Structure 1
Amino acid sequence: MSDLTFVRSDMQPALPPPVRTTGAIAWTRKNLFPSVSNGVWTIVAILFLLWLVPRLYGFLIGDAIFTDPEGLRGEACRFEGVGACWAYVAARFNFFIYGFFPLGEVWRVNIMFILGIIFLAPLLIPKAPLQKTAALMFFVVYPIVSYWLMAGGEFLGIPGTALRTVPTNQWGGLTLTLIISMIGIIVSMPLGILLALGRQSKLPIIKWFCVAFIELWRAVPLITVLFMASVMFPLFMPQGVNPDTLLRAIVGICLFQAAYMAEVVRGGLQAMPRGQYEAASALGLSKPKTMGLIILPQALKHVIPGIVNNFIALFKDTSLVSIIGVFELLNTVRAAARDLDWSSPTQAVTGYIFAGFVFWIFCFGMSRYSIYMENRLHTGHKR
Structure 2
Amino acid sequence: MTNPQLLWLRKNLFNTWYNSLLTIICIAFLIWLAKSIIIWTTTQAQWTVVQVNLRLFLVGRFPQSLYWRVWIVLAIASTLTAITWGVFSSKQHLTKRQIAVYTFIIAGFLMGLPGDLTSRSWLLLISILLAIGFGIGRKFPKIILPWLSLTWLLSFSLIIWLIGGGLGWQSVSTNSWNGLLLTLLMAAVSIVLSFPIGVLLALGRTSNLPIIRWFSILYIEIIRGLPLIGILFLAQVMLPLFLPVDLRLDRVVRAITGLVLFSAAYMAENVRGGLQAVWRGQVEAAKALGLNSLLVTILIILPQALRAVIPAIVGQFIGLFKDTSLLSLVGLVELTGISRSILAQPQFIGRYAEVYLFIGSIYWVFCYSMSLASRRLEKQISQ
TM-score tier, shorter chain, comes to 0.7 to 0.9
User: Aligned letter for 1:91?
Assistant: V
Q: CA deviation at 1:54?
A: 0.8
> CA–CA distance in 1 between the matches of 2:161 and 2:14?
59
2:68 maps to 1:107: yes
Which string of whole-angstrom CA distances, capped at 9 and with x for unpartnered residues, describes residues 132-165 of structure 1? 44432321x32332222112222xxxxxxx3322
User: Aligned letter for 1:306?
Assistant: A
2:195 maps to 1:214: no
2:326 maps to 1:320: yes
SS of 1:326's partner is: coil
2:272 maps to 1:266: yes
Q: CA deviation at 1:264?
A: 0.2
Any conservation in 2 of the 1:122–1:128 contact (CA below 8 Å)?
Answer: no
Alignment partner for residue 373 of structure 1, among 351, 373, 377?
Answer: 377
2:65 maps to 1:52: no
Alignment partner for residue 314 of structure 2, among 308, 312, 329?
Answer: 308
> CA–CA distance in 2 between the matches of 1:182 and 1:209?
27
Q: Residues 129 and 32 from structure 1, CA distance in 2 versus in 1: closer, same or farther, beyond 3 angstroms? A: farther
> CA–CA distance in 2 between the matches of 1:374 and 1:335?
40
Q: Residue 232 of structure 1 aligns with which residue? A: 238
Q: CA deviation at 1:339?
A: 1.0
2:65 maps to 1:84: no
Q: CA deviation at 1:376?
A: 3.0
Alignment partner for residue 55 of structure 2, among 65, 90, 94?
Answer: 94
Normalised by the size of structure 1, how large is the TM-score? 0.81
Q: CA deviation at 1:22?
A: 5.0
Any conservation in 2 of the 1:234–1:242 contact (CA below 8 Å)?
Answer: yes
SS of 2:305's partner is: helix
Alignment partner for residue 151 of structure 1, among 164, 184, 190?
Answer: 164
Q: Residue 253 of structure 1 aligns with which residue? A: 259
Normalised by the size of structure 2, how large is the TM-score? 0.81
User: Aligned letter for 1:99?
Assistant: G
Q: Residues 120 and 187 from structure 1, CA distance in 2 versus in 1: closer, same or farther, beyond 3 angstroms? A: farther
2:360 maps to 1:356: yes
User: Aligned letter for 1:220?
Assistant: L
SS of 1:115's partner is: helix
> CA–CA distance in 1 between the matches of 2:17 and 2:376?
35
User: Aligned letter for 2:145?
Assistant: Q
Gaps of 5+ in 2: 89-140
Q: Residue 8 of structure 1 aligns with which residue? A: none
Q: CA deviation at 1:37?
A: 5.0
Q: Residue 22 of structure 2 aligns with which residue? A: 41
Name whichever of 115-124 and 332-341 sits farther off.
Answer: 115-124
Highest Rg: 1 or 2? 1
Q: Residue 130 of structure 2 aligns with which residue? A: none
Q: Residue 15 of structure 1 aligns with which residue? A: none
2:190 maps to 1:184: yes
Aligned length: 330
Q: Residue 77 of structure 1 aligns with which residue? A: none
Q: Residue 136 of structure 1 aligns with which residue? A: 150
Q: Residue 337 of structure 1 aligns with which residue? A: 343
SS of 2:62's partner is: coil
CA RMSD across the alignment: 2.1
User: Aligned letter for 2:37?
Assistant: L
> CA–CA distance in 2 between the matches of 1:278 and 1:122?
39
Which string of whole-angstrom CA distances, capped at 9 and with x for unpartnered residues, describes residues 85-137 of structure 1? 11220110000000111122122112112212333544453335323444323
2:200 maps to 1:194: yes
SS of 2:143's partner is: coil
Which string of whole-angstrom CA distances, capped at 9 and with x for unpartnered residues, describes residues 59-82 of structure 1? 112x0xxxxxxxxxxxxxxxxxxx
> CA–CA distance in 1 between the matches of 2:177 and 2:40?
32
> CA–CA distance in 2 between the matches of 1:21 and 1:287?
59
> CA–CA distance in 1 between the matches of 2:377 and 2:194?
20
Q: Residue 101 of structure 2 aligns with which residue? A: none
Gaps of 5+ in 1: 1-19, 64-82, 155-161
> CA–CA distance in 1 between the matches of 2:18 and 2:205?
49
> CA–CA distance in 2 between the matches of 1:315 and 1:337?
23
> CA–CA distance in 2 between the matches of 1:296 and 1:36?
53
> CA–CA distance in 2 between the matches of 1:348 and 1:123?
37
Q: Residues 263 and 38 from structure 1, CA distance in 2 versus in 1: closer, same or farther, beyond 3 angstroms? A: farther
> CA–CA distance in 2 between the matches of 1:249 and 1:60?
36
Which string of whole-angstrom CA distances, capped at 9 and with x for unpartnered residues, describes residues 294-334 of structure 1? 22111111111100110110010000010111111111111
> CA–CA distance in 1 between the matches of 2:31 and 2:276?
48
How high is the sequence identity, in percent, across the aligned residues? 42
